[in-house]
Amino acid sequence: MAGIFFTYFALVSMAAGVLTVTLRHPVHCALSLLALLMHVSGLFILLNAEFLWAVQVIVYVGAILVLYLFVLMLMNLKTDERYFHSSALYILGPAVLGAGYVLYLLLRSPFDGAKGDTPATAVLQDGDTYAVGIKMFSDHLLQFEIVGIFLLGAIIGAIVLAKTPKALDAERERL
């Protein structure tokens, strides 16, 4: 059963990723990015990470993607005839070759290592939110605060950048 769901989520997320890169109209790209994000959140469910599933749906789909769609519709872009960069053909071949080699390496490696302290049974017993919360507010508190400061800086930076620069324009007209 999990195998069927994994195959579905994996195939649809990869197809949506390719569509995001190749579609012509930017709004269509944003909508296929929506499909990608939802299916990646489905993969998180399969990995017993239901808190990350909720965060993915709320923050990525609900906030970031809506921000993208707002900006797209605010600018009312014309779709160009030539929507790939001029050097696209030189990049495509080496990228596909490199991806094939990386896939070959990944699929034949066993990936084993030292186990941590949170087995799947403990996560299933208390819930993923509990496990993440205990870990975050005991061992990773400093990183949590740093991310908070980072978000504050990002908000201030976005406001400063997007403000209309009236004073600068007046000064430029005088010169």
The pair phi, psi for residue 111, each rounded to 5°, is 55, 75
Site string for other proteins, 3-22 (x = CB under 8 A): x--x---x--xx--xx-xx-
Q: Does 109 participate in binding other proteins (rule CB under 8 A)?
A: yes
The single residue among 73, 124, 125, 143 that binds other proteins, judged by CB under 8 A, is: 143
Q: Which residues 62-81 are close enough to bind other proteins by CB under 8 A?
A: 63-64, 67-68, 71-72, 74-75, 77, 80
Q: Largest alpha-carbon pair distance within the chain?
A: 71
- Please say whether the beta carbons of 46 and 9 come within 8 A: yes
Q: Does 85 participate in binding other proteins (rule CB under 8 A)?
A: yes
- Rounded distance, CA 33 to CA 68, Å? 10
N residues, the chain: 175
Q: Does 47 participate in binding other proteins (rule CB under 8 A)?
A: yes
Residue placing its CB nearer to other proteins in the complex, 125 or 150 = 150
- Please say whether the beta carbons of 48 and 119 come within 8 A: no
Q: Does 136 participate in binding other proteins (rule CB under 8 A)?
A: yes
